[in-house]
């Protein structure tokens, strides 16, 4: 690359980073479009209402019935907030999250009234029009009712209701010219067929339309083109398939018989989110600064290029979170900051390779080309396996966990882009500027061979001892320690009681935690009490274990005597334990699915199932050791537990893949007889600095999270720190050793 092109490349990259950073801060126009302030915030950050419903009845509802119910509720809650989300949990539960609203009772009442679908004749018996074109309540022009539904029904002009419709589907038919026309096909029940035949006969004779009316809006107003006696009909023409599908879905949901009951409702105050955002941003800035200083101190010029690339990576991720419409949650913030630490990994792999090539006497330009060529497979394999973990989270997690998966997946993709393209472009630009002295890049020393394989027995012994101790502690917690459960499950797993108290003054969160939480924990003998404010009034929500009648009374007396609260105004509701069983089951299934998918991928890539089996065993070790930590420390196992476990799995596999990639490479280069033990030891030793440095940079980011983060982020960060250390240990000391055992004990037979 010429000198002028090198200068241009560096200037363009710096300007892009500055421009994207400005966009993150200021956005475009008065509305600050594209800025970080315009990112959609989830319930835990913006505050609002969360409601979980369960279908009732003897038979489990069909998947289509549940999907249509989700669509119906989504239509309803979007009237409250465009960021509202509705999603299924399991096969018979639906959760609604509405950020920015706080009147849970009115929302529950509104959502509890199912919409009804009506087919309405155009003319009333007296010849007046039942509906005409006019100005609707929202100010737009469209069809409006001239009479109330009760009046139209009393007049006999509601000819069908939703339960008379058997099905509605969008599709295409060919006309006489062979052109495909998009239509909505309707089929009716036997009773509905008779009603519709009579109604269409009369409407056709009078040149009428029959409007389809649902939940206060006209879905469609088709003209009747003939008497319909076959029990089916078509609405045409449709503008496009999406419009047809929307109309078909609306017609289907008008006749649903799914009955929902409330399992739990929750209100979150926005002040929690503001504190979480500010402290997490501080953690990100501090952690990022420390990582940049570390990279420059260790890798010299290489570290400087990674700092520029990481800066571009950070501002791009914020911009794309906004662009893709990702709803940011507390776990999502953790995912962003964690992915910054993980983004260093690809650079470290490349830099280690580059320094090795410089050691052989290659020029800097040649070393860059060879380093990228050799590092690419390890980078791709490691990041793809981590993406598998993110995909499992995305598919199997709840709303907030999905946010974590989305930000983690986005971060991984961006990290590969910045490492493979941006860092490489910067390095070539430096060479073009004449910075070709190896001392500016660092030359790797010949790695000292460490006998990891020879020490495999004590390594295995230490791990088995820790896992065994964890199992014993799980048993003790559940049976003998008076704790009642093997792990300290939060309300997300066990259910509990949510108590709403109205005070005569506005207490800050600090005051609530200082003045009340410790007292309540003492009264209830429960150290997991959490407190949340309700925006706009003096209400406070206390979440505790499931309370007996006596414990509820004790809590009410405390508020009455200490803070002059009217006992009758205190509201307490139980959170269903049904969610607990599903959460535990989902956790186990998610980890198993992630491990199986990783095993299949590694088997496919390395053409040797022993690599995959060793990887999965190492991951299983990491999960069990982390569980042991949860048992000993008895830290809260909450909604981020799945995210934490799968992050550990994805992070650990990344380090293991790098070592296995080096073993595979060294096996290919070995000629004649070779000592397998030496190859494995050399491979681990050669990648040791990479394993330690990557773990250290990621650990720095998580430590910053733990130091500056709010309690919910600390619950995520603390076990994650343990998982990072454990994953590093298993990758270096266990994975290669297990593969060596499998390779020597389970030898492939040549066909």
The answer to whether the beta carbons of residues 635 and 719 sit under 8 Å apart is: yes
pLDDT by residue (tens digit) across 128-185?
999 998 888 777 888 999 999 889 999 999 999 887 888 888 888 877 777 788 889 9
Predicted confidence at residue 274, as pLDDT, reads 62
Check whether 741 has a pLDDT greater than 90.
Answer: yes
Q: How far apart are the first and last CA of the chain?
A: 50
Predicted confidence at residue 193, as pLDDT, reads 92
483 band by pLDDT with thresholds 50, 70 and 90: low
pLDDT by residue (tens digit) across 197-241?
999 999 999 889 999 998 778 888 998 988 888 888 888 888 888
Structure tokens at 119: 């087919």
The answer to whether the beta carbons of residues 164 and 191 sit under 8 Å apart is: yes
Check whether 271 has a pLDDT greater than 60.
Answer: no
Which has the higher per-residue pLDDT, 258 or 703?
A: 703
* H-only helix segments in 397-497: 399-417, 423-432, 456-479, 491-494
For residues 225 and 203, give the distance between their C-alpha atoms in angstroms, rounded to a whole number: 9
Collapsing DSSP to helix, strand or coil, 251 comes out as helix
> Rounded to whole angstroms, what are the CA distances from 207 to 134, 226, 532, 662?
21, 10, 60, 79
For residues 210 and 489, give the distance between their C-alpha atoms in angstroms, rounded to a whole number: 56
Considering only 260-264, 342-346, 491-495, 524-528, which range has the smallest mean pLDDT?
491-495
**CB burial of residue 257 (10 Å; 0-12, 13-18, 19+):** exposed
pLDDT by residue (tens digit) across 453-465?
999 999 999 999 9
Which has the higher per-residue pLDDT, 237 or 78?
A: 237
Check whether 121 has a pLDDT greater than 90.
Answer: yes
To 5 degrees, how large is the angle CA 200–CA 206–CA 212?
45
Predicted confidence at residue 358, as pLDDT, reads 93
The answer to whether the beta carbons of residues 351 and 299 sit under 8 Å apart is: yes
Phi, psi of 23 (to 5 degrees): -60, -40
Which has the higher per-residue pLDDT, 634 or 711?
A: 634
Predicted confidence at residue 670, as pLDDT, reads 81
76 band by pLDDT with thresholds 50, 70 and 90: low
pLDDT by residue (tens digit) across 298-330?
999 999 999 999 899 988 988 888 888 777 776
425 band by pLDDT with thresholds 50, 70 and 90: very high
Write the DSSP symbol of residue 125. Answer: T
Predicted confidence at residue 158, as pLDDT, reads 92
The answer to whether the beta carbons of residues 28 and 34 sit under 8 Å apart is: yes
Neighbours of 18 (CB within 10 A): 13
For residues 411 and 328, give the distance between their C-alpha atoms in angstroms, rounded to a whole number: 14
The answer to whether the beta carbons of residues 1 and 9 sit under 8 Å apart is: yes
For residues 611 and 665, give the distance between their C-alpha atoms in angstroms, rounded to a whole number: 13
Check whether 593 has a pLDDT greater than 90.
Answer: no
Considering only 108-117, 435-444, 606-615, 725-734, which range has the smallest mean pLDDT?
108-117
673 band by pLDDT with thresholds 50, 70 and 90: confident
Sign of the four-CA dihedral 405, 408, 411, 412: negative
Rg, the chain, Cα only: 31
For residues 49 and 208, give the distance between their C-alpha atoms in angstroms, rounded to a whole number: 44
Structure tokens at 69: 């119910």
Tell me the β-bridge partners of 134.
142
Which has the higher per-residue pLDDT, 701 or 210?
A: 210
Check whether 706 has a pLDDT greater than 70.
Answer: yes
The answer to whether the beta carbons of residues 400 and 327 sit under 8 Å apart is: no
Check whether 398 has a pLDDT greater than 50.
Answer: yes
Predicted confidence at residue 392, as pLDDT, reads 80
Predicted confidence at residue 130, as pLDDT, reads 93
Write the DSSP symbol of residue 542. Answer: E
Check whether 431 has a pLDDT greater than 80.
Answer: yes
Check whether 68 has a pLDDT greater than 90.
Answer: no
**Could you give the domains of the chain?**
3-24+269-440 (1.20.1640.10), 48-113 (3.30.70.3400), 117-255 (3.30.1360.200), 456-469+579-745 (1.20.1640.10), 496-575 (3.30.70.100)
pTM to 2 decimal places: 0.71
Average pLDDT over residues 656-677: 86
Average predicted confidence (pLDDT) for the chain: 82
Predicted confidence at residue 578, as pLDDT, reads 47
């Amino acid at each position: 690359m010429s000198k002028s092109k090198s200068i241009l490349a560096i200037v363009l990259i710096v300007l892009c980073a500055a421009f994207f950073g400005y966009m993150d801060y200021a956005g475009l126009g008065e509305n600050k479009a594209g800025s970080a302030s315009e990112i959609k915030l989830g319930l835990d950050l913006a505050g609002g209402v969360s409601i979980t419903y369960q279908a009732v009845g003897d038979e489990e509802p069909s998947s289509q019935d549940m999907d249509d119910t989700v669509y119906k509720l989504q239509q309803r809650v979007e009237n409250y907030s465009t960021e509202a989300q509705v999603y299924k949990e399991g096969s018979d539960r639906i959760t609604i999250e509405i950020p920015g609203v706080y009147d849970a009772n009115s929302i529950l009442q509104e959502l509890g009234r199912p919409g009804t679908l009506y087919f309405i004749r155009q003319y009333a018996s007296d010849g007046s029009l039942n509906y005409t074109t006019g100005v609707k309540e929202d100010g737009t022009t469209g069809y409006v009712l001239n009479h109330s539904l009760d009046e139209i029904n009393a007049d006999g002009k509601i000819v069908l209701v939703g339960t008379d419709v058997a099905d509605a589907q969008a599709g295409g038919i060919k006309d006489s010219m062979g052109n495909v026309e998009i239509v909505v096909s309707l089929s009716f029940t036997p009773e509905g067929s008779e009603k519709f035949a009579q109604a269409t006969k009369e409407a056709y004779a009078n040149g009428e339309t029959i409007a389809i009316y649902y939940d206060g809006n006209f879905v469609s107003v088709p003209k009747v083109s003939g008497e319909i006696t076959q029990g089916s009909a078509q609405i045409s023409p449709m503008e496009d398939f999406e419009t047809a599908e929307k109309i078909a879905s609306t017609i289907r949901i008008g006749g649903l018989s799914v009955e929902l009951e409330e399992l739990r409702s929750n209100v979150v105050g926005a002040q929690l989110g503001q504190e979480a955002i500010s402290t997490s941003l501080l953690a990100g800035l501090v952690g990022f600064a420390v990582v940049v200083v570390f990279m420059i101190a260790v890798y010299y010029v290489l570290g400087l290029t990674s700092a520029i690339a990481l800066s571009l990576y950070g501002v791009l991720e914020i911009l794309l979170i906004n662009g893709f419409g990702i709803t940011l949650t507390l776990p999502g913030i953790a995912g962003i900051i964690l992915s910054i630490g993980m983004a260093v990994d690809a650079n470290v792999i490349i830099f280690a390779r580059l320094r090795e090539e410089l050691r052989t006497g290659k020029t800097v330009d040649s070393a860059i080309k060879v380093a990228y060529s050799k590092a690419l497979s390890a980078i791709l394999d490691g990041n793809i396996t981590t993406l598998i973990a993110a995909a499992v989270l995305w598919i199997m997690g709840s709303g907030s966990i999905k946010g974590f998966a989305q930000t983690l997946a986005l971060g991984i993709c961006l990290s590969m882009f910045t490492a493979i393209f941006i860092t490489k472009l910067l390095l070539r630009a430096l060479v073009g500027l004449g910075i070709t002295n190896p001392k500016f890049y660092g030359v790797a020393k010949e790695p000292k061979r460490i006998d990891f394989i020879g020490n495999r027995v004590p390594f295995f012994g230490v791990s088995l001892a820790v896992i065994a101790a964890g199992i014993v502690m799980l048993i003790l917690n559940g049976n003998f320690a008076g704790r009642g459960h093997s792990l300290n499950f939060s309300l997300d797993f066990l259910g509990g009681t949510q108590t709403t108290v109205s005070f005569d003054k506005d207490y800050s969160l600090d005051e609530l935690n200082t003045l009340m939480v410790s007292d309540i924990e003492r009264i209830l003998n429960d150290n997991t009490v959490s407190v949340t404010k309700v925006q706009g009034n003096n209400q406070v929500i206390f979440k505790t274990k499931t309370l007996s009648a006596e414990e509820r009374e004790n809590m009410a007396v405390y508020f009455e005597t200490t803070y002059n609260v009217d006992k009758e105004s205190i509201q307490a509701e139980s959170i269903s334990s049904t969610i607990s069983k599903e959460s535990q089951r989902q956790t186990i299934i998610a980890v198993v699915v992630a491990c199986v998918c990783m095993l299949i991928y590694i088997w496919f890539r390395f053409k040797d199932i022993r690599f995959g089996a060793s990887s999965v065993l190492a991951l299983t070790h990491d999960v069990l050791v982390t569980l042991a930590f949860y048992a000993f420390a008895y830290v809260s196992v909450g909604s981020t537990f799945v995210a934490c476990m799968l992050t550990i799995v994805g992070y650990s596999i990344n380090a293991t893949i790098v070592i296995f990639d080096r073993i595979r490479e060294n096996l290919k280069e070995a000629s004649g007889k070779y000592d397998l033990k030496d190859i494995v030891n050399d491979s681990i030793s050669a990648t040791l600095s990479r394993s330690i440095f990557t773990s250290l940079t990621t650990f720095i980011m998580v430590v910053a999270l733990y130091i500056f983060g709010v309690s919910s982020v600390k619950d995520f960060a603390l076990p994650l720190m343990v998982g990072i250390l454990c994953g590093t240990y298993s990758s270096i000391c266990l994975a290669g050793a297990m593969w060596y055992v499998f390779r020597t004990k389970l030898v492939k037979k040549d066909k």
